[in-house]
């Protein structure tokens, strides 16, 4: 396991010599070439840094680690060194964030579009059907959400063959890791500030990542728009949450004085591509906002709707409801949780997300939005539409028999996705063929539970993955998530920003992603 650095004889000779042009350009990022002792030393320092700065999760094997803070801590899985990513695609992804925010808002207002697009899915997917029932009830009573808050994350992979940035999905509920991903970028900058010379890497090529501050700012602004100084922000959480520190960063920063890093871009002399080099300036901010944490079942027991529409939970008025649970059927084990979800939607509290925003983030809506002429229903600006469309991968409904036939012939080129969140739900490879054939035989409507998506094949990189205090070298692929924050009050858009990023890296042999689901590690970007 990792050790502090004692010797400076650092490069392994075996892989450095005799390289052709291609490996010369990529060899900078061939992290596997580094000497064992150097990596041991970086790993040791990184583990110390992670422990001291709160880059932490609860450990699986320790029983209370998902319920009692401070018990059974382990560092979050992370990549030892940042992942090379082309600056041009990085900028592209950043520029898309406000466009997707606006798109979500527009689509959320078209109740008919949401109901119709999901009508076949509703028949076969109980979870989606329950969400749609709540949505229908809100349409019936003509419920309006004047103040709308979105904390989104749009995820992308860089397709190697076409060299294009393609969207994996858009998350509108529980977009996680805004807290921890900020830390990973800081960790990598710190690592490169110490070891950069040896590694020939520049810490300033890791873009500053202020996702935690920017989520806090958005939640705080939403709270102040609600305009009840006594009201609190309620986090809806799972009863057992090993990723609780990611959430606690937000609640602590909402309450206490906290360092607010402002990233800005500077020009560095004599270096091309330099306008994305970022510096940080430290400011401080305090909101004094109280947050409470409740499970859906607790909201059912303690919540009530006051005559003026205020949601009170345990006697406390709620300004903002921030969902870090409620995205998976497992969060609704009984009617109690569904009652709570409905109660919250009926209230005047700002929901992040509202039921409409939640539905806009489903895979089925992603697929519907990718159909010809659909974006045009929601957006006017042709450039914006073209930019959004450029990042859409192939997406198909299964009632398209032509695509089902193609996917049965070449299942490795597709991913089959149900209407689920949280990782670990998709179908890949031969299982795509088997599932499609089974669905065809059954001849039922079950196919409406899924969409088909073009499988994206990103470039493989040489990564070093840290898990449970040990590192290992592996071939890996990465997924870039760009956070977006959106807040509006009636006609006034108060906030519509790109708000930091999350890089996740996983071994290339794994189909699924997801850090919490155990497939990927947290990473950051090294601009190339």
Query: Which residues here bind Mg ion, judged by CB under 5 A?
Result: 169, 171, 421
153 annotated active-site: yes
Phi, psi for 140 (deg, rounded to 5): -60, -45
Segment 249 to 308, residues that bind ligand ADP, using CB under 6 A: none
| Binding partner selected for residue 105 from ligand ADP, Mg ion, none, CB under the kind-specific 5 to 8 Å limit | none
Nearest-approach distance from CB 404 to ligand ADP, in angstroms: 17
Q: According to the binding rule CB under 6 A, does residue 125 interact with ligand ADP?
A: no
Choose one: 237-245, 258-266, 449-457, 494-502; the region binding ligand ADP (CB under 6 A): 449-457
Of 33 and 506, the one with the shorter C-beta distance to Mg ion is: 506
Residue 453: name its binding partner from Mg ion, ligand ADP, none (Cβ under 5 to 8 Å by kind).
ligand ADP
Neighbours of 392 (CB within 10 A): 16
* Residue 462 near residue 475 (C-beta atoms within 8 A): yes
Q: Catalytic: which of 421, 479, 481, 506? A: 421
If the CB atoms of residues 163 and 227 are measured against ligand ADP, the closer one turns out to be: 163
Based on the shown chain and the rule CB under 6 A, indicate whether residue 318 belongs to the binding site for ligand ADP: no
Least distance in angstroms from the C-beta of 504 to ligand ADP: 7
**Binding test (CB under 6 A) with ligand ADP, winner from 102, 155, 217, 447:** 155
Q: Out of 425, 445, 460, 528, point to the residue binding ligand ADP (CB under 6 A).
A: 425
Nearer to Mg ion, 33 or 420 (CB): 420
Asked about 417 being catalytic, the answer comes back as: yes
Let me know how long the chain is: 528
Query: Of the two residues 177 and 249, which places its CB atom closer to ligand ADP in the complex?
Result: 177
Report the b/e string of 43-69 with b at 16+ CB within 10 A: bbbbbebbeeebbbbbbeeeeebbeee
- For residue 495, state whether it binds ligand ADP (rule: CB under 6 A): no
Rounded least distance, CB 87 to ligand ADP, Å: 23
Q: How many CB atoms lie within 10 A of CB 36?
A: 10
**Closest-CA residue to 167 (of 157, 180, 159):** 157
Active site residue 421: yes
Q: Which residue in the list 176, 210, 243, 478 is annotated as catalytic?
A: 176
From 342-350, 371-379, 383-391, 420-428, give the range in contact with ligand ADP by CB under 6 A.
420-428
Which residues fall within 8 angstroms of residue 335, CB to CB, at 6 or more apart? none
511-516 contact pairs (CB < 8 A, 24+): 511/415, 511/426, 511/428, 511/429, 512/423, 512/424, 512/426, 513/168, 513/423, 513/479, 514/422, 514/423, 514/424, 515/76, 515/77, 515/177, 516/176, 516/242, 516/243, 516/422, 516/423
Rg, the chain, Cα only: 23
The yes or no reply on residue 502 touching ligand ADP (CB under 6 A) is no
Check residue 479 for interaction with ligand ADP (CB under 6 A): yes
Output 348 or 362, the one with its CB closest to Mg ion: 362
Q: Single out the residue of 526, 477, 522, 505 nearest to residue 199, CA to CA.
A: 526
Within 10 Å of residue 73's Cβ, how many Cβ atoms?
17
Active-site residue among 111, 314, 394, 422?
A: 422
Does 453 participate in binding ligand ADP (rule CB under 6 A)? yes
Closer CB to ligand ADP, 232 or 453, in the complex? 453
Given 186, 488, 504, 506, the catalytic residue: 504
- Cβ–Cβ under 8 Å, residues 212 and 179: yes
Q: At what angle do helices 244-255 and 178-199 cross, to 10 degrees?
A: 100
Is residue 168 involved in binding ligand ADP (CB under 6 A)?
A: yes
Tokens of 242: 């090993």
Q: Is residue 446 among the annotated active site residues?
A: no
The nearest distance, CB 425 to Mg ion, in angstroms, is 9
Written as six digits, the tokens of 238 are 């799972």
We find the least distance from the C-beta atom of residue 157 to ligand ADP, in angstroms, to be 6
Coil, strand or helix: which one is 30?
Answer: coil
Whether 524 is catalytic is no
- Choices 36-44, 296-304, 488-496, 508-516 (CB under 6 A): range interacting with ligand ADP: 508-516
472 half-sphere exposure, CB direction, 13 A CA radius: 8
| Residue pointed to by tokens 């080099």 | 277
What residue is closest to ligand ADP based on CB?
Answer: 513
Judged by CB under 6 A, the stretch of 18-26, 246-254, 397-405, 421-429 that binds ligand ADP is 421-429
Name the residue among 248, 366, 246, 232 with its Cα closest to residue 292. Answer: 232
Among 423, 467, 494, 508, binds ligand ADP (CB under 6 A): 423
Q: Which stretch binds ligand ADP (CB under 6 A): 42-50, 226-234, 416-424, 493-501?
A: 416-424
What 3 state SS string does 393-424 have?
Answer: CCEEECCCHHHHHHHHHCHHHEEEEECCCCCC
Task: Give the β-pairing of 461-467 and 291-294.
Answer: unpaired
Q: Cite the active site residues.
A: 153, 169, 171, 176, 363, 417, 421-422, 504
């Amino acid at each position: 396991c990792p050790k502090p650095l004692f010797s400076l004889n650092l490069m392994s000779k075996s892989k450095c010599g005799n390289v052709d042009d291609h490996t010369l350009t990529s060899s900078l990022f061939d992290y596997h070439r580094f000497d064992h002792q150097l990596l041991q030393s970086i790993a040791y320092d990184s583990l110390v840094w992670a422990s001291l700065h709160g880059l932490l999760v609860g450990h699986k094997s320790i029983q209370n680690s998902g319920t009692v803070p401070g018990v059974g801590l382990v560092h979050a899985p992370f990549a030892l060194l940042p992942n090379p990513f082309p600056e041009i695609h990085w900028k592209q992804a950043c520029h898309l964030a406000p466009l997707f925010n606006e798109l979500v808002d527009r689509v959320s207002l078209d109740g008919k579009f949401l109901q119709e697009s999901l009508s076949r899915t509703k028949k076969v997917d109980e979870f989606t059907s329950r969400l749609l029932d709540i949505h229908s009830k809100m349409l019936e009573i003509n419920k309006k959400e004047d103040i709308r808050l979105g904390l989104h994350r749009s995820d992308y992979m860089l397709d190697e063959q076409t060299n294009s940035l393609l969207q994996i999905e858009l998350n509108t509920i529980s977009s996680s890791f805004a807290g921890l991903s900020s830390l990973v970028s800081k960790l990598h900058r710190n690592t490169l500030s110490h070891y950069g010379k040896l590694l020939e890497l520049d810490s300033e090529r890791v873009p500053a990542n202020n996702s935690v501050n920017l989520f806090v700012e958005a939640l705080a602004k939403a709270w102040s728009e609600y305009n009840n100084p006594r009201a609190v922000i309620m986090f809806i959480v799972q009863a057992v949450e090993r990723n609780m520190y990611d959430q606690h960063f937000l609640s602590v920063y909402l309450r206490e004085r906290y360092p607010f890093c402002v990233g800005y871009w500077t020009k560095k002399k004599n270096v091309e591509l330099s306008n994305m080099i970022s510096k940080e300036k430290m400011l401080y901010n305090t909101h004094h906002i109280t947050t409470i944490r409740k499970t859906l079942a607790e909201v059912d027991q303690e919540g009530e709707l006051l005559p003026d529409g205020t949601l009170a939970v345990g006697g406390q008025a709620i300004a903002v409801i921030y969902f870090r649970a409620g995205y998976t059927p497992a969060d609704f084990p009984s009617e109690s949780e569904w009652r709570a979800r409905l109660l919250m939607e009926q209230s005047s509290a700002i929901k992040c997300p509202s039921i409409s925003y939640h539905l806009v983030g489903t895979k089925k809506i992603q697929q519907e939005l990718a159909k010809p002429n659909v974006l045009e229903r929601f957006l006017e600006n042709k450039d914006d539409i073209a930019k959004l469309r450029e990042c859409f991968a192939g997406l198909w409904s299964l009632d398209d028999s032509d695509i089902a036939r193609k996917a049965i012939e070449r299942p490795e080129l597709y991913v089959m996705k149900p209407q689920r969140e949280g990782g670990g739900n998709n179908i890949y490879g031969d299982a795509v063929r088997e599932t499609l054939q089974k669905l065809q035989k059954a001849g039922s409507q079950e196919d409406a539970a899924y969409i088909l998506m073009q499988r994206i094949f990103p470039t493989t990189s040489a990564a070093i993955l840290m898990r449970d205090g040990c590192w290992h070298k592996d071939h890996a692929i990465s997924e870039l998530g760009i956070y977006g924050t959106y807040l509006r009050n009636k006609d006034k858009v108060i906030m519509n920003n790109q708000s930091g990023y999350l890089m996740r890296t996983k071994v290339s042999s794994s189909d699924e992603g997801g850090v919490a689901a155990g497939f990927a590690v947290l990473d950051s970007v090294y601009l190339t």
